[in-house]
Structures are given as C-alpha cells and as structure tokens.
Copies of this chain bind each other. A is one copy, B any other.
Amino acid sequence: MTYLHANERRFIDELKDYLRLPTISAQAEHASDMVAGARWVADHCRAMGLQAEVCPTPGHPVVLANTPRRPGKRPRVLIYGHYDVQPPDPLEGWESPPFEPRVVGGRLFARGASDNKGQHFAHLKAVEAYLRTGTELPCDLTFVIEGEEEVGSAHLPEVLRRRRAELTCDCVVISDTGMPSLKLPALTYALRGIAALEIKVTGPNRDLHSGIYGGSVANPAMVLSQLLAGLVNQQGRVTVPGFYAKVKALSAFERRQMGRLPHQDAAYRRFLGSPALFGERGYTSEERRTARPTLEINGLTSGYQGEGSKTIVPSWASAKLTLRLVPDQSPASIVRLMKAHLRRICPPTVRLEVKAGHGAEPYWVSPEGPLAAAALAALRRGFGREPVLIREGGSIPIVVGFRKILRAESLLLGLALPDANAHSPNESFHLEAFSGGMRMSAHLWAELGQTLARRPASSAS
C-alpha cells in the first residue's frame, strides 16, 4: 500500500500516456493505432515484470500477460480488460480534446479513462506493487486485455478456446462496470441478458391509395400496433405466456441490498426527463431496471415518414424489439415463446415474419457465496467503506464466454462513477476511484488466494 501511495503521481502520468493513444476499434483509419495500443500494453506489462504477448486475431490483437509462473499450485485468476475505446464523437461536446488527457477537479478526463483503460490499469499497478516490492503474490495472474470490446468481442472467444490450457483459471476479475458513488464501492453480481427480435407484418403487395382502397383491407401498421399493444399490459407485465416461468425471484436478501442504494425516484425521473416513471407493478424502479425482465420496442417503421402526409395504406410495418432477460431465462427459449405467441395472436389479414437477432444469456453469481465474500472484503479494505451488492441492467456477453469456455465465474468490480460519461463526450475517471481500485485490487489477490486455496479447483462458483 505504501508503494501504491508513493508512486501514484507516476501511475497517473503513465495512464495519461496510455490514454493518448486513439485506440478506436470501430474506425478502420485507427488500425495502426490499435496495433500501437496493444504493443504499448504488452511493453508496459513486460517493464513491470510480467510475461507478455501480443496475440494476433483476424481483427484487433489481444494482449496476454501473466505473472512469472512459480513452482507449486496456486489459485489462478484471470483479469479481463480492453484497450479499445469508443469513437469520441460528437467532438464538439468535449471541453478538452478527447486524446489529450488532463486532470480537473480530481477527475482524469479523456476518451477511455473509465471505459476501460483506467479500470484495468488499476489492477496492473496493484500487481506492479507486489512485483516491485518483492511481495509474494497469493495467486497466479493472467491479464487478458482485448481490443474489440466496443465492437462486439468477435475474436476473443476463439483466443480463449485456442489458449484454454494456459487460460484455465479459478475465477475472472473484471472492472468494467460502475459503482454508485465513492462512498459505495460495489460488487455487481448479476447482469441482464438480451434477445433481439424483428417483427414485420405485410398486407397488400404495395402501398395503396387510402381513398380508393382504404376500408377494404387491414392496415398493416394498425395490425402491428395491435400485436405490440397486447405484449405488455397496464401493470407493466409482459403478457406472453410462459415469459416469467424461468425467472429466478429476487430473494429477500437481494431486495434488502438494493434498498441500501441511494436511489431517489423524483431525481431519477428528472434525470430521464420523462413525465413519469413506469414499470412492472410490485417492484421498485431500481429493481425493474436491473433485476426484472422487460420487453422494449427499439424502433417502429411503416409507410410515409416525411413532411406532411401521404394518404396510403402502407404495404407493411415493422418493429424492432429487445427483451432484457434475467436468470434463468434463455434468449433461445424466449425467442421461441415470442414467435409462437405472435403467430397465435396475428390475424389472417396480414403475413407475419419474426426474425431473431442477437442474444446474450443473463448472468448471476451468488452474492452470498465465498467468491463474493472475498470481493466484498477487498472492496471494504480498499475503499474503507461498506460495499454494496448491485445488479446491472445491461449485458456483458464475454462473462458468459468465460463461463462457457473456461468454466470460470466472473467478479464484476466496477470503478466507474455515475458521472463517468462512458460512450459520451467528457469521459472521466475519478482519481479516488483509481487509488481505491488499486488498493482493492492489491487486497483482492490476498482475499482470493485464501478463499480459493480452501476449495477444490473444480467448483469455482
């Protein structure tokens, strides 16, 4: 801890160097910056004393870096992060250039500061402290820092499969989520999954003049509205039969944990700019947005959308939907339920097509298990505050990849504060979250070392 404190200024300077690299994975013109970014990470790891390798893929490379392997069997932990960042657009929204990091008011501003360079850099610096002070690491560690998180992690699963033998581990640590405030360090123990669908109904084989033909055929936009309208009722419940069958109920323990969060509906409503909050009856808005499944329309398309009016019965109408899923719902079976239900309720006056899009499994690791206990202890010691247990409403598909390919559970220890502006202009990383994160990480290896040493390697959760 002394080492971390004494070297913090240097760490910030190093992180600034890292943040100067415009590693924008989505933009082809940054391909060489992506290679430079991967090299920077590998070189930095080597300088710290890790064995590092830039592992090419058909897309952007993955950096693998591990602590020197020592004789004897120690618990093995994999630390995941990503060196790629979102595009900085809209540029005019930034108060200082996105790739010229600067510290203002205790926050380091730059694209990628919170998402995700600053967060995994905290883990790297905690490991550096062990290595430079000659302290024995209680676990063998491997960093997996990829370059395609912001574009879907298309090539990481293949790397995990190819290198499974060396990447096999007892658990995965990921700092790529959020914490409610500096006073509330958090372990995220669940994520929602997702199932995407596109619905299209087609009536006449062309747009029809609504004066000449209107009244003689069903209007596809009306039929679509009627199909969609019946999918969620006035109590905010999804009405598709069987939709809730596999939903694991929130335990009293979980609801108590959620109740500890400093959520205020009035302020939250103002933040969203919505006339009112709304959702499934019987749950708080915090529970609804993180721990309950939903059906959302993402887009509607039909007929004429320009200025003024065009008097047609449109030939077709379509809707894009995503369903957020919770344990133990699966995207494939929810898609099956949706398709069957829509076919059942669709009238014979239109043709119905339902196309399944991407899907991701929901994620849940016991908030009362030994891994969670180790993480909570590290958070408590690192931040000097009692941590909270939270669920997040989004999806991180790669955690399901780690579970399926490496059979390892993930601990999500997010360091991004609510004002971090990930994916938006003026992204920042709180320096207190950085220093707390480094301390948390240093404690985590000790806590996990003790916890994992006590259990057989095969039952990682």
Alpha-carbon distance between A40 and B273 when the two chains are bound, in angstroms: 61
Interface contact B205-A297, CB-CB below 8 Å: no
Name the one of B215, B216, B268, B303 contacting A320, with C-beta atoms under 8 angstroms: B303
Question: Closest CB-CB distance, A196 to chain B, in whole Å?
Answer: 4
Interface contact A211-B319, CB-CB below 8 Å: no
Interface contact A275-B324, CB-CB below 8 Å: no
A168 beta carbon closer than 8 Å to chain B: no
Q: Which residue of B lies closest to A203 (CB)?
A: B274
Interface contact B214-A225, CB-CB below 8 Å: no
Interface contact A298-B314, CB-CB below 8 Å: yes
A173 beta carbon closer than 8 Å to chain B: no
Alpha-carbon distance between A350 and B297 when the two chains are bound, in angstroms: 15
Within 170-221 of A, Cβ neighbours of B (below 8 Å) are at 192, 194, 196, 198, 203-206, 208-219, 221
Which residues of chain B are within 8 angstroms of A357 by Cβ–Cβ distance?
308-309
Name the one of B225, B226, B273, B299 contacting A206, with C-beta atoms under 8 angstroms: B273
Which residues of chain B are within 8 angstroms of A211 by Cβ–Cβ distance?
192, 194, 324, 392-395
Question: Closest CB-CB distance, A343 to chain B, in whole Å?
Answer: 14
Which residues of chain B are within 8 angstroms of A167 by Cβ–Cβ distance?
none
Within 295-312 of A, Cβ neighbours of B (below 8 Å) are at 296-305, 308-312
Instruction: Kindly report how many copies of this chain are found in the complex they form together.
Output: 2
Which residues of chain B are within 8 angstroms of A155 by Cβ–Cβ distance?
none
Question: Closest CB-CB distance, A322 to chain B, in whole Å?
Answer: 5
Within 210-248 of A, Cβ neighbours of B (below 8 Å) are at 210-219, 221-222, 224-226, 228-232
Alpha-carbon distance between A203 and B276 when the two chains are bound, in angstroms: 8
Which residues of chain B are within 8 angstroms of A44 by Cβ–Cβ distance?
none
Alpha-carbon distance between A308 and B356 when the two chains are bound, in angstroms: 10
Alpha-carbon distance between A25 and B123 when the two chains are bound, in angstroms: 70
A residues at B contact (CB < 8 Å):
192, 194, 196, 198, 203-206, 208-219, 221-222, 224-226, 228-232, 268, 272-280, 285-286, 288-290, 292, 294, 296-305, 308-314, 317, 319-320, 322, 324, 347-351, 357-358, 392-395
A-B CB contact pairs (8 Å), 7 listed: A215-B324, A216-B268, A218-B274, A219-B296, A221-B297, A222-B231, A298-B311
